[in-house]
Amino acid sequence: MEKQTNGKTRTNDEEKIQESHEAQANMWKFVFGFTEMAVIKCAIELGIADFLEKNQEPISLNQLSIALGCCSSSLYRILRFLINRGIFKETSTKNGKSGYVQTPLSRLLIKEGENSMAAFLLFESSPVMLAPWHNLSARISSKYNSTPAFEAAHGKDVWKYAEADPKHSNLLNNAMACDARVAVSAIINGCPEIFEGVNTVVDVGGGDGTTLRLLVEAFPWINGINFDLPHVASVAPHAIGVVHVGGDMFNYVPKADAAFLMWVLHDWSDEECIQILTKCKEAIPQDNGKVIILEAIIGEKEESIIRGSNNEKLKDVGLMLDMVMMAHTTNGQERTSKEWAYVLNEAGFNRHTINHINAVQSVIQAYPS
C-alpha cells in the first residue's frame, strides 16, 4: 500500500510540474502574441506572398531578397518565423538549394488575391486601431463603462475619425471589402436561394460597394443600392448594376425589396440596432420584403463552437470579435441567437431564420410579417 501511495504522489507531482511548464509556455505566447500580427504585416508590406505567387517554383533566399530589395539575413529570420507557423514552406529548388513556396495560408496574404485577408490585417494592425486596446481596462473598470476605448485614444469615435481621415477611411473600406469577398462567396455557394425573387437590394453600410458588386455579378437580375455615409458613398467606385447613395441609416433607408446588412449591427447597442432595423423595416415591402443580416452568432454557454461556421477551428473568432467591438466601438457587441431574436422582435420582425455558411458569419433573414 505504501508503494502505491508513493506512486500516486509522484504521479500527482509530475502532473503539477507538467501543468506548470505548459502554463509558462502559454504565458510566453501571450506575452509575445503581438509578434505574429507584426511579422505577418511585415510580410504583406514586403510583398513576399505576391512574389512567390508569380513564380510557380521554389525561390531561393538570394533571389527573393534581391527581388524584394531586402537584407537576406533579416529576410531569412522573418521566413523562419513564418514557416514555423505554417505560413510559407521551405523546399528544394531545381539546383538542390533551399527555396520557398506558398501555402494555403500564405496565399491569404496576397494583396490582390481573391480570398486575401491582407487588407483586414493591415487595417487591424494600424496604429489607429491598436491604440484603443491600451484603454480597454480603463473602460471596463468603471461601473458605467466610462469613456469608450477608441474615443479615449483618439478623442472621437471610430466613425467620426474615419470621416476626418480619408487614409484611415480607405483602410477601413478595404478591410470590409476583403471580408465581403469571402462572406459573399460563402452565401453564393451556400444559400443562393435567399435572393430568388429579390429585384432590388439596399446594402446598408455597404462601404465601397464590393458586396453589391459581387451579388449583382452572381444574381444579375438584382438592382443594387449601396447606402453609406456621404463621405463613403461619394468615393465608392462605379459598378454595373449598383448606385451609390449617401445618408444616415438612423434617419432613413432607401426603398428596396430587401435590406442587406453585413457586419453593421454588431457595431451598435441593442437600442441602436432596433432603430436601424426599424428604418430597414420601413424601407421594404411589408408583405414580402425581408432584411438579410450577416453577423457572427456566439454559441450559448453549453455549446462548444461559434455558430455560423462549419469549421470548429473558427470557434474563437466570434469571441475575439466581441473583444474587438469592446475596443473599437462605443456600444457594439457580438450576440447569441437569443440576443439576435430579441432585437429583431423589438424592431417588429415577427419571424426570422438562420442559415449557417462556411464563414465566420451566419445569414439571418428577418421578415416583418
- Catalytic residue from among 244, 266, 328, 352: 266
**Dihedral angle computed from the Cα positions of residues 118, 123, 127 and 132, in that order, rounded to the nearest 10 degrees:** -130
Distances (CA, A) of 78 to 58, 87, 229, 354: 17, 11, 40, 42
Rg (CA), the chain: 24
**Phi and psi at residue 172, to the nearest 5°:** -65, -50
Respond yes or no: is residue 266 known to be catalytic: yes
- Taking the C-alpha atoms of residue 1 and residue 14, their distance in angstroms, rounded to an integer, is 20
Q: Grid coordinates 477611411 are at which residue? A: 169
Q: What proportions of the chain, in percent to the nearest 5, are helix, strand and coil?
A: 50, 15, 35
- Taking the C-alpha atoms of residue 65 and residue 58, their distance in angstroms, rounded to an integer, is 14
3-state secondary structure of 92: strand
Contacts 24+ apart (CB under 8 A), 219-223: 219/192, 219/195, 222/195, 222/198, 223/199
The H-or-E segment that residue 63 falls in is helix 61-68
- Taking the C-alpha atoms of residue 281 and residue 275, their distance in angstroms, rounded to an integer, is 10
Catalytic residue positions?
Answer: 266
